[in-house]
Every structure is written in structure tokens, then in C-alpha cells.
Amino acid sequence: MFGRILFRIFLSAVGFVVALPGMTEHAKAQAGRILEIEDQPGIVPNPSDEQLPPALRRQVVFYRTSEPPGTIIVDTADRYLYLVQGNNRAMRYGIGVGRDGFQWQGLLSVTRKAEWPDWTPPTEMIQRQPYLPRFMAGGPGNPMGARALYLGTTVYRIHGTNQPHTIGSAVSSGCFRLVNDDVVDLYGRVPVGTKVVVRQRPTL
């Protein structure tokens, strides 16, 4: 019984999407990807599942910003994380973001880094998903994935995932998730103290 509850996935597409001013075509398309998916502790993804669509794959892109090189910028609307390189370039990663009611914006910094981090779901998450374990050691089946960057003193993190199919979707409780290959790459590029700018979708 517990095992069946543990591994259920509830997928429901939201059929009504509002195109907001200033949203790119990619953002408009991604706005429809709001998934109701339960966490799946213990599930180990197949490597082929981590092959993302071209638009979400890690790549260097043209990106104009006044932020200095080394800054992380999270674009919630477009479902991208940018690591500023300078000279109007950035390394871009496809990400999963917080679902409606769990999105946020602000300015923080990376205060800690961890490889194959343990997972202790917050009390609020346990209340929403009571089947979750109270603690899970790091490893391939851990929802935190291969690496984690902890943001300020908040409960939010940039981390990997054992659910690669959720990249490009609004699905999390406020954290930002990448496929494991991408989070390992990002982890190796940024030190503790890195500035993180989170930009939320503009309001009407």
C-alpha cells in the first residue's frame, strides 16, 4: 500500500494560459507546463530520460545584463537559469520552477554547496505529501539529485532531480531543479558566495 502511494504520479495539464506582456514565445509555451507531480523518492531515472529537448539543453547564449560575470540569474517565466559569462554571453540551463503559489523573487547568495545531498522535507511539504520520508540519504534516487546549492538562509535550493521529465515545468515547492548533468556542471562553476538573482513573471 505504502509503495503504491509512494510511486504514484499525478499529471494534469492546465489548459488555460494567460500570455503576459513581455513574455517570449518560449515563455508562453512553457506557461502551459504546470504539472501536479508528487515527489518520487527512490526512483532512479534512466539516463535517456535526461536527454532534454534542444531548447532546454545547456548552452552558451547571447544574454545582455548589467550583472557581473559569475552571477546566477533565474528566469522563472522562461524556465531558464543563466550563469553570466560577460561580453553579453551566459551559460543557459533549462530548469523546473515553483508551481503557482510557490514562485518567488529576490536577491540571495549561495551559502552552501553539497554533493549528493541528504533530503529532509520541510514540515510544510510533509503536510501536503504525508507519504514522504522524514529523511532520505543522498544518492541517485534522492529528489535532491547529484548536487545542491543552498540559497541564503531560506529553504530554497538549486538542485538536481530524479524526475528529469519535469524540467521546463512549474512543479516544485519553490526550489529550482536541473537534470543531474547540468547541476554537476553548474556546481563546478560557482563558489559559495555567488550572487543569485531570482526574477518572477511580471504581473498584469
Query: What amino acid positions are annotated as catalytic residues?
Result: 159, 175
165 and 35 Cβ atoms separated by less than 8 Å: no
As a whole number of angstroms, the distance between CA 143 and CA 166 comes to 12
Length of the chain: 204
**Cell numbers describing residue 134:** 522524514
The CA-based dihedral angle spanning residues 66, 68, 71, 74, taken in that order and rounded to the nearest 10 degrees:
10
Phi-psi region of 131 (alpha: psi -120 to 50; beta: other; left: phi over 0): alpha
In the three-class reduction of DSSP (H, G, I as helix; E, B as strand; rest coil), residue 184 is classed as: helix
Residue 147's beta-bridge partner residues?
115
**Cell numbers describing residue 123:** 514540515
